[in-house]
């Protein structure tokens, strides 16, 4: 056993003494020792109940003959960090999470790991650590939040931002805002739309690192506690068979995850995280693969913010398993891929049927014939950029407009909220990339403000930052190279024409090559926004969004 390194033989008497101080018995020390990484905290609704999940996991480990040892991982709530300095730290915490788990799991050589995330950067950060360590590992999330209700309609976290725009227009009263505030996020769990957290938890099933149901069983269901116990038992099987994350997360698993991503209409952030996961797995994943798979994988779901359905609806309609089975029947995923269940994808999803054909459509009658995400290229983004196509009104698939340029999210939001943006504009927000932000802020506030004032079908937004999974509209992020690295987005001026063609995967700054070259020669990078601390180090070390924004 790997844990023998810290517990077996006469030379490890001091180590065993430390374990005895923790209350461990000789019998517990004989068993495989499983690290239980719990990101539970009192900061995030998705994590407030993870103490219960962890207890269930540990019960499962003990039932199967192992000894669990729990330790924490940090977590930032993107919803609370949104639209202020805190958002610059959100993506950057993904690397802290991966690094800290690596450090603990090598200092304390566990035989296996159970990873308990729930939200946004924490899910990929934990998967990245598992791949880096490459010891038997499995993921169990805290599950999704239920949707709220207002005025007879389902609402969620993103509804809060759009409500601000409607309030500015006089469509909502102060009393309406208070009701939405009280009802939009009604339970524990990761916010109820197909935002980044739920996207990554669903894709963890598709990629094979979590058991079926991980992405959709509601957070407060006892069924999730049973899944957690099963997960605890399952890690013991993975340890016994020495099945490691890199045995499971292969190129075929990545391809499966992208196909499920396209069918579900996941957050654009999944591209960033799947790139980083592939990097840790030593898999060469080029962005062209997204469009290749998107071109043949239809979009089968319209979950918030793209539509009115939420994760609970997906759960009752058959879950990720039903989506995957529909894809498998049509030859769109590989059913032979290995998973942590000990069975193949095909075996896991056998018999899973669509129970609501509006929530999950058949391949023969999809919402879109192409997938939910698209990568665009052109002289504005030579290394690519990402759009959540399923959340864009088809009238905006081919769009030409005049640039309105802002050097920060705050500048853009002030202009939007004060009526300075007009139909036909392309809002350009730059110096918000991994290096320039630093930290690649999510732009939910400006995109939701545009939607809230009714301009989401008349205005596009382009940024070298990124978007929350709650974003809808013609919002194009991850523009690479970013402005701070001298990408062409840095030389756009007010009034320049920009053409977006989502159908043809193109984005163009309508200037001559000579003019672009002339402007780039005269461009000087601004000084760093943050000059000390972790973010300053992160800014110096982080790679482009097109490479997953991993650290060099």
Structure confidence at residue 469 as a pLDDT band (50, 70, 90) = confident
Helix (H) or strand (E) holding 383: strand 381-388
413, 440, 196, 247: CA torsion to nearest 10? 170
Q: What is the pLDDT of residue 451?
A: 83
Give the pLDDT mean for 454-475: 89
What are all long-range contacts of 325-328, with beta carbons under 8 Å and residues at least 24 apart?
Answer: 325/349, 325/350, 325/351, 325/352, 325/353, 326/263, 326/300, 326/354, 326/360, 326/362, 326/363, 327/259, 327/260, 327/263, 327/297, 327/363
Give the residues across from 380 on adjacent strands: none
Q: Which of 59-68, 178-187, 441-450 has the lowest mean pLDDT?
A: 441-450
Give the pLDDT mean for 152-162: 92
| Distance between CA atoms of residues 58 and 228, nearest Å | 9
Q: What is the pLDDT of residue 150?
A: 96
Tally of helices (H runs) and strands (E runs) in the chain:
21, 14
Instruction: Identify whether the C-beta of residue 442 lies closer than 8 Å to the C-beta of residue 119.
Output: no
Residue 124, number of CB atoms within 10 A of its CB:
28
Structure confidence at residue 162 as a pLDDT band (50, 70, 90) = confident
Give the pLDDT mean for 38-58: 98
For 10, what's the count of Cα atoms within 13 Å in the CB-facing half-sphere?
Answer: 0
User: pLDDT over 90 for what percent of the chain?
Assistant: 92
Instruction: Identify whether the C-beta of residue 388 lies closer than 8 Å to the C-beta of residue 268.
Output: yes
What Cα–Cα distance (Å) separates residue 1 from each residue in 4, 111, 241?
Answer: 5, 6, 12
For 328, what's the count of Cα atoms within 13 Å in the CB-facing half-sphere?
Answer: 23
DSSP string of 406-468, one letter each residue: ESSHHHHHHHHHTT---TTEEEEE-S-STTTTTS--B-HHHHHHHHHTT-TTT-EEEESSB--
For 285, what's the count of Cα atoms within 13 Å in the CB-facing half-sphere?
Answer: 29
Q: Is the pLDDT of residue 471 over 80?
A: no
pTM over 0.85: yes
Tens digits of residue pLDDT in 516-536: 999 999 999 999 999 999 999
Q: Closest by alpha carbon to 438, among 83, 125, 91?
A: 91
Tens digits of residue pLDDT in 130-150: 999 999 999 999 999 999 999
The contacts of residue 2 (CB under 8 Å, 6+ apart) are: 109, 110, 111, 135
| Distance between CA atoms of residues 266 and 269, nearest Å | 8
Give the pLDDT mean for 435-445: 92
Tens digits of residue pLDDT in 358-403: 999 999 999 999 999 999 999 999 999 999 998 899 999 999 999 9
Structure confidence at residue 168 as a pLDDT band (50, 70, 90) = confident
Q: Which letter does DSSP use for residue 218 in this model? A: -
Q: Is the pLDDT of residue 50 over 80?
A: yes
Q: Is the pLDDT of residue 237 over 90?
A: yes
Tens digits of residue pLDDT in 293-311: 999 999 999 999 889 999 9
Q: Is the dihedral of CA 62, 67, 69, 75 positive or negative?
A: negative
Give the pLDDT mean for 21-48: 98
Q: What is the pLDDT of residue 468?
A: 81
Structure confidence at residue 25 as a pLDDT band (50, 70, 90) = very high
The contacts of residue 163 (CB under 8 Å, 6+ apart) are: 172, 176, 177, 180, 452
Q: Closest by alpha carbon to 367, among 458, 299, 308, 290?
A: 299
Give the residues across from 153 on adjacent strands: 150
Q: Is 408 among the catalytic positions?
A: no
Give the pLDDT mean for 165-191: 95
| Distance between CA atoms of residues 443 and 465, nearest Å | 7
| Distance between CA atoms of residues 175 and 162, nearest Å | 15
Give the pLDDT mean for 63-85: 95
Q: Which residue has the higher pLDDT, 468 or 354?
A: 354
Structure confidence at residue 231 as a pLDDT band (50, 70, 90) = very high
User: pLDDT over 70 for what percent of the chain?
Assistant: 100
Q: Is the pLDDT of residue 165 over 90?
A: no
Structure confidence at residue 117 as a pLDDT band (50, 70, 90) = very high
What Cα–Cα distance (Å) separates residue 62 from each residue in 69, 101, 122, 208, 524?
Answer: 11, 22, 26, 24, 60
Give the pLDDT mean for 309-328: 98
Q: Is the pLDDT of residue 161 over 90?
A: no
| Distance between CA atoms of residues 432 and 467, nearest Å | 11
Q: Which of 120-129, 247-256, 272-281, 390-399 has the lowest mean pLDDT?
A: 390-399
DSSP string of 477-517, one letter each residue: E--SS-GGGT-GGGG--TT-EEEEETTTTEEEE-S-HHHHH
Structure confidence at residue 169 as a pLDDT band (50, 70, 90) = confident
Spacing of C-alpha 547 from chain mean position: 15
End-to-end CA distance of the chain: 32
Determine which one of 137, 468, 475, 480 is catalytic: 468
Q: Is the pLDDT of residue 431 over 80?
A: yes
Residue 42, number of CB atoms within 10 A of its CB:
6
Instruction: Identify whether the C-beta of residue 480 lies closer than 8 Å to the C-beta of residue 544.
Output: yes
* Count of residues in the chain: 552
| Distance between CA atoms of residues 8 and 11, nearest Å | 8
Q: What is the pLDDT of residue 321?
A: 98
Q: What is the pLDDT of residue 453?
A: 83
Query: What tokens appear for 85 in the block?
Result: 């300095």
Q: Which letter does DSSP use for residue 335 in this model? A: T
Instruction: Identify whether the C-beta of residue 385 lies closer than 8 Å to the C-beta of residue 477.
Output: yes
Q: Closest by alpha carbon to 349, among 477, 244, 206, 470?
A: 206
């Amino acid at each position: 056993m790997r844990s023998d390194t810290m517990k077996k033989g006469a030379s490890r008497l001091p180590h065993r003494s430390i374990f005895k101080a923790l209350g461990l018995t000789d019998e517990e020390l004989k068993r495989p020792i499983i690290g239980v990484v719990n990101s539970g905290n009192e900061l995030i609704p998705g994590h407030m109940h993870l103490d219960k999940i962890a207890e269930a996991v540990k019960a499962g480990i003990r039932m199967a003959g192992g000894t669990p040892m729990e330790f924490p991982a940090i977590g930032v709530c993107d919803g609370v960090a949104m639209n202020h300095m805190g958002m610059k730290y959100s993506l950057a915490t993904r690397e802290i999470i991966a690094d800290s788990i690596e450090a603990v799991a090598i200092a304390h050589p566990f035989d296996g790991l159970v990873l308990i995330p729930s939200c946004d950067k924490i899910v990929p950060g934990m998967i990245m650590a598992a791949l880096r360590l490459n010891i038997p590992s499995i993921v169990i999330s805290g599950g999704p939040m239920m949707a709220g209700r207002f005025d007879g309609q389902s609402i969620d976290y993103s509804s809060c931002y759009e409500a601000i725009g409607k309030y500015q227009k006089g469509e909502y009263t102060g009393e309406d805002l208070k009701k939405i505030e009280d009802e939009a996020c009604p339970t524990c769990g990761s916010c109820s739309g197909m935002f980044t957290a739920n996207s990554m938890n669903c894709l963890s099933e598709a990629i094979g690192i979590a058991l079926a149901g991980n992405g959709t069983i509601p957070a407060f269901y006892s069924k999730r506690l049973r899944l957690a116990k099963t997960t605890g038992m399952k890690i013991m099987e993975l340890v016994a068979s020495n099945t490691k994350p890199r045995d499971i997360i292969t190129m075929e698993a990545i391809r499966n995850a992208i196909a499920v991503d396209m069918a579900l209409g996941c957050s654009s952030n999944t591209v960033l995280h799947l790139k980083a996961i592939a990097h840790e797995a030593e898999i060469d994943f080029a962005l062209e693969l997204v469009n290749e798979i998107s071109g043949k994988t239809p979009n089968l779901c319209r979950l918030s913010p793209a539509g009115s359905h939420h994760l609970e609806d997906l759960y009752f309609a058959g879950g990720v398993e039903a989506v995957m089975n529909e894809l498998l029947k049509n030859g769109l995923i590989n059913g032979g891929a290995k998973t942590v269940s000990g069975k193949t994808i095909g075996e896991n999803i056998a018999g899973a049927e669509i129970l609501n054909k509006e929530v999950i459509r058949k391949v023969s009658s999809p919402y879109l014939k192409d997938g939910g995400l698209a990568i665009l290229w052109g002289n504005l983004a030579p290394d690519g950029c990402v759009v959540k196509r399923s959340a864009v009104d088809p009238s905006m698939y081919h769009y030409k407009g005049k640039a309105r340029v802002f050097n920060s999210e705050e500048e853009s939001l002030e202009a939007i909220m004060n009526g300075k943006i007009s139909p036909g504009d392309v809002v350009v927000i730059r110096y918000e990339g991994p290096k320039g932000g630093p930290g690649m802020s999510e732009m939910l506030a400006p995109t939701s403000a545009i939607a809230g004032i009714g301009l989401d079908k008349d205005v596009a937004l382009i940024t070298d930052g990124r978007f929350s999974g709650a974003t809808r509209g013609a919002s194009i992020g991850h523009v690479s190279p970013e402005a701070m690295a001298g990408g062409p987005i840095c030389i756009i001026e007010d009034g320049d024409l920009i053409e977006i063609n989502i159908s043809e995967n193109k984005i163009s700054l309508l200037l001559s090559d000579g003019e672009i070259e002339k402007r780039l020669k005269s461009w000087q990078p601004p000084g760093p926004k943050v000059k000390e601390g972790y973010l300053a180090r992160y800014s110096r070390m982080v790679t482009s969004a097109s490479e997953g924004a991993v650290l060099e």
